[in-house]
Amino acid sequence: MFARVFSGAVHGVEAHPIEVEVDCCQGLGQISVVGLPDASVKEAQERVRAAIKACSFLMPPGKKWVVNLAPCDIRKEGPGYDLPIATGILAATGLMPFENIANLWFIGELSLSGSVRPVSGVLPIAVAARQNGARGIVVPEGNAEEAALVEGLKVYPVSHLMQVFKIAESLENGTIYEGASREQFARAAANVVHHKDFRDVKGQPQSKRGLEIAAAGRHNILLVGSPGSGKSMLAERLPSIMPPLEFEEAIELTKLWSVAGLLTERGNIVAERPFRNPHHSASVIGLVGGGARPKPGEISLSHLGVLFLDELTEFPRAHLDNLRQPLESRKVMISRAGQTLTYPASFMLVAACNPCPCGYRGDPVKFCLCTSSQAERYWGRLSGPFLDRIDLQIVVSRLNVGELIGEVKEESSAAIRRRVELAVDRQKLRNISNSTPGGFNFNSSLSQRELHKYCQVEQKTKEFLARAVSQFNLSARAYDRILRLARTIADLAGSENILMEHISEAVRYRLPLKVAS
C-alpha cells in the first residue's frame, strides 16, 4: 500500500515542501530511507521502528517499507522527519486512517518511547505550509507557540505518536493551538526592559551624538579611544535608543533564531533587537555562518540589530574582510558543494578599538610608548576597504576629573530614542520599499537611484563636499556614504533638505582616525 505525507526542508531561512512517500512491499521487515538523507535522517528508521512498537502497533511481518523524501535533489537534514515517516508507515500499512490528515504537514523528532520532541526550524516550515495551501501542521508541543506565529494556519501540538493516531481518526480529536501572534508579540515587546541606559554614561557628548545618528539611520560606527574611556559602555547601550521591532521584523528574526536552534534561549518570538558581541577569537564560520551543517553566523544572528566587535584590531584581518560584502549587500551567501544558502545580514556594525598597541596615543594624561611604525602596523590590521564601509569614526576621549566626579544629570535613553523614532518615521514616509520587512529602507541602505532622489544638495554645498573628497582622498563609496549620513542628520534636525551644516558634520565623522594616529 502507498501513502504520502507532507513535511518541509529548511534551506537557509526558507523552507521547501517535502513529500514523504511510503510504499509497503515484500521484504525482510526493514525500513529504507532514500531521497538524499543525511545520517540523522537515516537513523530515523530505528527511532521510528521503536516508537511504533512502543505504541503497541503490530507491524505486518515479512514487509519492507521504502521511504522516499522528494524532491531528491534537496538534502534532508535533522531529526524532524521522524514524525512524518512514522505517520506515513502507519498509513501505508493500514494501521492509521489517512483521509483526515492528507492535507496536513508534519514535523517532529520521536523518542524510542513514542514521545515527540521539539526540533529547530519549525517557523520557516509553518510559513511554507501556509504558502502551499496546507490545512494545518502537526508539531511537537514545545514548538506550538512558534508555529502559531503564522496567521491563517491551524496548529496541532502533539506530545506522543498516539495523539497523531487520534487526529487521523478525527481532526476534532486534536487540540488546535490558538496563538494570537500579534497580541503575543505586543505583550512580549511591552515587557522588554533595557537595563543599560545612557543616563549612566557621564560626559561623552560627541560619542552620544554619533550613536544617536547611527541608530537613526542604521549607520556603521567605529569608536576609538584609550582603555577605560567608555567605548564598550556606550556600545552596550545602543539598543536602548533603537526603535522597537515591528511585527514583520520580529517574524523574520524569529525564523533566523529558529533555524539556528536558539529560540529556547529567547522564548518563542524575538521581541527585541539583537545585540551580538562575539569574541575576537571567533572563527570565520562563527562570524559569517556555514559549517558542515550550515547555520547562521553572528552577522545573521545580529540581523536588524547590532553586531558589536570589541577590540576590533585583535580580529584577524581575513575575518574582517569577510564582512565587507555583507556590509554592502545586507545578506551573506554560503556556497557549498551542491547547495548555496542565503542568510539575511542587515546589521549595524559597532566596533571599538584603542588608537595604538599600548592604547594611549593622543591621550592627554598618559604617555604613548609606541613608535610611529608600531602604530602604523597596528592600523594596518584593518584594510582600507573595510574602514571605507564605516560611516562614523568617533574618538572617545578620556573624562576629566570634573566630569568623572560631577553629578550632572545625563540625558536618558528614552529621550534620545524619541528623537531617533521621529527621524525613523520620516524615513518610513519617504524611503518606501516593499522588499524589506519594515516596508522601508533606512538611509544607510538607500540605493543609487534613491540616493539621487532623496539626497539632493545645493550647488554650493556640492562644491564643498567635492573639495572635502579631494582634500582627504575619499573614495566614491565614501562620497555616497557622506550623503546618506547627511540625510540622517537632516532627518534628526527635522529638515526636508540637506544643508551645508549637515554635510559638514557628516564629513567630520570620516576624519577622527587622523587625530588618533
Q: What is the mean pLDDT of the segment spanning 15-43?
A: 86
| Residue 516: per-residue pLDDT | 40
DSSP labels, 129-151: HHHTT-SEEEEEGGGHHHHTTST
Shared-domain flag, residues 161 and 13: yes
Domain assignment present for residue 258? The answer is yes
Domain assignment of residue 500, yes or no: no
Chosen domain end from 154, 179, 204: 179
Q: Which helix (H) or strand (E) covers residue 63, if one does?
A: strand 63-70
Q: What is the pLDDT of residues 312-360, one digit of tens each?
A: 999 999 999 999 999 998 999 888 766 788 899 999 999 999 999 988 8
Alpha helices in 8-160 (DSSP H): 39-42, 44-54, 82-92, 122-131, 144-147
pLDDT at 145: 85
Angle CA(54)–CA(59)–CA(63) in degrees, nearest 5?
Answer: 145
**Together in a domain, 270 and 373:** yes
Read off the pLDDT band of 515 (50, 70, 90).
very low
Tell which residue, 236, 258, 232, 251, has the closest CA to residue 304.
251
Does 492 fall in a domain? Answer: no
pLDDT band at residue 268 under the 50/70/90 scheme:
confident
| pLDDT over threshold 60, residue 392 | yes
160 and 203 assigned to the same domain: no
Please indicate, yes or no, whether residues 315 and 439 belong to a single structural domain of this protein.
Answer: yes
**Within this chain, do residues 160 and 204 fall inside the same structural domain, yes or no?**
no
Cα 261 to Cα 3, 41, 172, 196, 301: the distances in Å are 31, 17, 31, 27, 11
Residue 258 in contact with residue 124, Cβ under 8 Å?
yes
Per-residue pLDDT at 267: 54
Q: How many domains does the chain contain in total?
A: 2
405-456: per-residue pLDDT in tens? 777 788 899 999 999 999 999 999 998 877 776 678 899 988 889 888 888 8
Last residue of a domain, one of 386, 419, 443: 443
- Specify the higher pLDDT residue, 432 or 1: 432
Q: Is residue 428 part of a domain?
A: yes
Residue 192 per-residue DSSP state: -
User: Which CATH number is 47's domain given?
Assistant: 3.30.230.10
Task: State whether 415 and 351 are in the same domain.
Answer: yes
Tell me, yes or no, whether 23 and 138 share the same domain: yes
CATH code for position 269: 3.40.50.300
Residue 385 in this model has a pLDDT that exceeds 60: yes
243 shares a domain with 111: no
Instruction: Give the other-Cβ count within 10 Å of 142's Cβ.
Output: 18
pTM of the model: 0.86
Distance from C-alpha of 313 to C-alpha of 473, rounded to nearest angstrom: 23
Give me the torsion for CA of 402, 408, 412, 415, rounded to 10°. -110
Question: Which carries the bigger pLDDT value, residue 292 or residue 16?
Answer: 16
Q: Residue 294 domain-assigned? A: yes
Domain that includes residue 323, residue range: 195-443
**Poorest-pLDDT segment among 190-194, 245-249, 413-417, 482-486:** 190-194
How high is the pLDDT of residue 126? 93
Q: Within this chain, do residues 253 and 291 fall inside the same structural domain, yes or no?
A: yes
Q: Among 179, 208, 240, where does a domain finish?
A: 179
**236 and 166 in one domain?**
no
pLDDT recorded at residue 283: 92
Distances (CA, A) of 47 to 22, 105, 239, 454: 16, 20, 44, 59
* pLDDT score recorded for residue 247: 86
What is the distance between the alpha carbons of residues 341 and 12, in angstroms, rounded to a whole number? 5
Burial class (CB in 10 A: 0-12, 13-18, 19+), 409: exposed
Instruction: Say if 332 falls within a structural domain.
Output: yes
Average pLDDT over every residue of 186-213: 85
* Residue 65, domain member (yes or no): yes
Contacts of 228 (CB under 8 A, 6+ apart): 398
Q: Are residues 172 and 264 in the same domain?
A: no
* pLDDT one-digit tens code per residue, 47-82: 998 999 898 887 777 678 899 999 988 888 889 999
Please give the DSSP secondary-structure letter assigned to residue 160. Answer: B
- Alpha-carbon torsion angle 221, 327, 483, 311, nearest 10: 20
Separation between Cα atoms, residue 355 and residue 362, nearest integer Å: 8
- Residue pair 123/15 in contact (Cβ under 8 Å)? The answer is no
Residues 140 and 40 placed together within one structural domain of the fold: yes
Q: Which residue has the higher pLDDT, 418 or 292?
A: 418
Q: Is the model's pLDDT at 512 over the cut of 70?
A: no
The one-letter code for the residue type at 38 is D
Q: Check pLDDT > 50 for residue 514.
A: no
Average of per-residue pLDDT values in the chain: 88
Q: What is the pLDDT of residues 43-56, one digit of tens each?
A: 888 899 899 989 88
Q: What is the mean pLDDT of residues 210-237?
A: 92
Q: What is the per-residue pLDDT for 214?
A: 95
Residue among 146, 198, 202, 218 nearest 428 (CA): 218
- Dump strand ranges (E) for 129-244: 136-140, 154-158, 221-225
pLDDT in tens, 84-110: 999 999 998 888 888 888 899 999 999
- Tens of pLDDT along 343-356? 999 999 999 999 99
Task: Examine residue 452 and state whether it is found in any structural domain, yes or no.
Answer: no
Nearest to 487 by CA among 435, 424, 410, 421: 424
Query: What integer pLDDT is reported at residue 19 of this predicted model?
Result: 94
**Cα–Cα distance measured from residue 388 to residue 31, given in angstroms and rounded to the nearest whole number:** 57
How far apart are alpha carbons 440 and 106 in whole angstroms?
35
**DSSP per-residue codes, 391-403:** SEEEEEPPPPHHH
Percent of the chain with pLDDT over 90: 45
